[in-house]
């Protein structure tokens, strides 16, 4: 493997046929380059979609109000379904798989927040404590809402750092009173959210909002987390729909009466999709590499043909078949490995170059990880060996007397 004479002979052969060697190596380098770029692009797309999912809990199920589209027991279609606190209580009671359950009431009117002379217009969202897990909220200072806040309808508020920086500036916010529609609420916590939209809001207890702002028991939607599998979550979804259909008198097959967004199933679908994309990319990339390897094999067959007399002389003076095979294999591996390494470096380099400038919400951090690079390198070595094996066997089978007659 490290015989200097062999390497000098290989270099001499390459120099003698520069264009042919370049074109052969280019096909291999291009195959590896495209494989790395395709895999990196697929990873960037996957990262972007995962980022969107991670803004909320990936194991969450959301239930929204709708309008009936089917007649049911004498009731005409077109009825608006309205959720109430009873839906929250019965969903919690009747479904043991439910965790971190929260209802939500959005305060749409007069969304004015103020502190001293500072004013801002932000989303006012009233929720249960389960929203902390549902929204993947990170508490920076203080705490989030708790059950005591709900049970006692306390006038407390958890606000994002974005809101705090606008209204309180550099002043300490915890323990101070923030005016929401001219009603004082005590600041109990500061948070950050992965979503830019969700950082433009404050959270207050749902019971407080119902008493002060809406004056009723209606809620806008329900959401909860569950550790169920995708198959189990589909059963939970079916049970939830049946329960709501019974309570609100609509056909359980009426898909427009209520809308259920099952993030557990959606995540599973995306995972299957990206698994298919990765498989497709590998098939395309390996196909491209194989095309390059076939080119290497053909070139080595031509090399063997051109050097038939030389190989015959070697065998006549005592060269063994294994030494002939070793020489041809080494040349094939050298061309393949070097060209493949160039393609690998260029592919990884391009991904690293463009990665900091990719700012799309659905395409993030395109990269080829270390395992892929190692796998591609091993694939190259194996491919180079296979590419040179047939020509090497052909060279080893040449009879000296026939080779010396070759013109």
Residue 53 pLDDT class (50, 70, 90 cuts): low
Residue 403 pLDDT class (50, 70, 90 cuts): low
Looking at the chain, the whole-number percentage of residues with pLDDT higher than 70 is 86
Each residue of 385-399: pLDDT tens digit? Answer: 776 777 777 767 767
CA distances from 233 to 162, 238, 346 (A): 35, 9, 44
Each residue of 293-309: pLDDT tens digit? Answer: 777 777 777 766 766 67
Q: What is the rounded distance in angstroms from the CA atom of residue 190 to the CA atom of residue 180?
A: 16
Q: Which helix (H) or strand (E) holds 289?
A: helix 263-306
Q: What is the pLDDT of residue 144?
A: 96
Nearest residue to 394 via CA among 297, 289, 294, 296: 297
Q: What is the pLDDT of residue 214?
A: 86
What is the average pLDDT across 6-10?
Answer: 70
Pick 102 or 20 by higher pLDDT.
Answer: 102
Pick 224 or 360 by higher pLDDT.
Answer: 224
What is the average pLDDT across 100-107?
Answer: 92
Tell me: pLDDT of 360 over 70.
Answer: no
- Pairing, β 183-192 against β 156-160: parallel
What is the average pLDDT across 330-352?
Answer: 82
Q: What is the pLDDT of residue 111?
A: 79
pTM assigned to the model: 0.69
Q: What is the pLDDT of residue 209?
A: 93
Q: What is the pLDDT of residue 16?
A: 73
Residue 207 pLDDT class (50, 70, 90 cuts): very high
88 close to 244: Cβ distance less than 8 angstroms: no
Tell me: pLDDT of 400 over 90.
Answer: no
What is the average pLDDT across 278-283?
Answer: 78
* Tokens, residue 116: 């001293």
111 close to 123: Cβ distance less than 8 angstroms: yes
CA distances from 191 to 157, 173, 319 (A): 11, 12, 77
* Tokens, residue 336: 């393949």
Each residue of 10-50: pLDDT tens digit? Answer: 677 777 777 777 877 787 788 788 888 888 887 887 777 77
Residue 57 pLDDT class (50, 70, 90 cuts): confident
Percentages helix, strand, coil for the chain (3-state, rounded to 5) are: 55, 20, 25
Each residue of 141-198: pLDDT tens digit? Answer: 999 999 999 999 999 999 999 999 999 998 999 999 999 988 999 999 999 987 778 8
Nearest residue to 113 via CA among 105, 103, 124, 129: 124
Contacts of 399 (CB under 8 A, 6+ apart): 312, 315
Q: What is the pLDDT of residue 128?
A: 97
Q: What is the pLDDT of residue 277?
A: 79
Q: What is the pLDDT of residue 5?
A: 65
Q: What is the pLDDT of residue 178?
A: 93
The conformational region for residue 127 under phi > 0 = left, psi -120 to 50 = alpha, else beta, is beta
Nearest residue to 127 via CA among 202, 177, 75: 202
- Pairing, β 60-65 against β 258-262: antiparallel
Mean pLDDT of the chain: 83
Contacts of 129 (CB under 8 A, 6+ apart): 102, 144, 145, 146, 147, 149, 150
Residue 77 DSSP SS3: coil
């Amino acid at each position: 493997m490290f015989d200097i004479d062999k390497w000098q002979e290989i270099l001499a052969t390459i120099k003698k046929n520069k264009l042919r060697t370049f074109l052969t190596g280019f096909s291999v380098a291009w195959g590896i380059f495209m494989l790395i770029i395709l895999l990196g692009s697929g990873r960037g797309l996957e990262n972007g979609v995962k980022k969107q999912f991670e803004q909320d809990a990936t194991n969450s199920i959301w239930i929204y109000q709708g309008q009936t589209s089917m007649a049911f027991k004498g009731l005409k279609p077109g009825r608006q379904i309205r959720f109430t606190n009873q839906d929250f209580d019965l969903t919690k009671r009747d479904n043991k798989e439910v965790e971190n359950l929260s209802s939500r009431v959005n305060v749409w009117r007069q969304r004015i927040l103020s502190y001293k002379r500072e004013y801002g217009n932000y989303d006012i969202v009233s929720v249960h404590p389960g929203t902390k897990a549902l929204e993947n909220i990170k508490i920076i200072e203080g705490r989030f809402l708790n059950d005591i806040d709900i049970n006692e309808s306390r006038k407390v508020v958890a606000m994002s750092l974005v809101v705090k920086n606008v209204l309180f500036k550099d002043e300490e916010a915890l323990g101070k009173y923030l005016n929401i529609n001219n009603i004082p609420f005590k600041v109990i916590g500061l948070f950050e959210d992965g979503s830019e939209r969700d950082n433009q809001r404050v959270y207050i207890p749902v019971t407080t909002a119902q008493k002060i702002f809406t004056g009723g028991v209606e809620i806008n939607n329900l959401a909860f987390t569950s550790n169920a599998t995708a198959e189990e979550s589909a059963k939970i979804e079916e049970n939830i729909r049946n329960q709501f259909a019974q309570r609100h008198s609509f056909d359980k097959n009426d898909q427009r009466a209520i809308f259920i967004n099952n993030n557990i199933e959606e995540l599973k679908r995306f995972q299957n999709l990206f698994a298919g994309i990765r498989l497709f990319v590998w098939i395309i990339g390996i196909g491209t590499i194989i095309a390059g390897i076939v080119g290497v094999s053909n070139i080595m067959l031509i090399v063997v043909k051109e050097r038939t007399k030389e190989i015959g002389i070697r065998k006549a003076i005592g060269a063994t078949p294994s030494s002939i095979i070793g020489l041809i294999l080494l040349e094939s591996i050298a061309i393949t490995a070097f060209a493949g390494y160039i393609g690998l470096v260029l592919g990884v380099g391009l991904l690293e170059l463009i990665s900091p400038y990719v700012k799309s919400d659905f395409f993030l951090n395109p990269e080829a990880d270390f395992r892929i690079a190692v796998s591609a390198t091993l694939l190259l070595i194996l491919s180079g060996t296979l590419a040179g094996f047939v020509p090497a066997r052909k060279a080893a089978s040449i009879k000296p007397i026939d080779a010396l007659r070759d013109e």
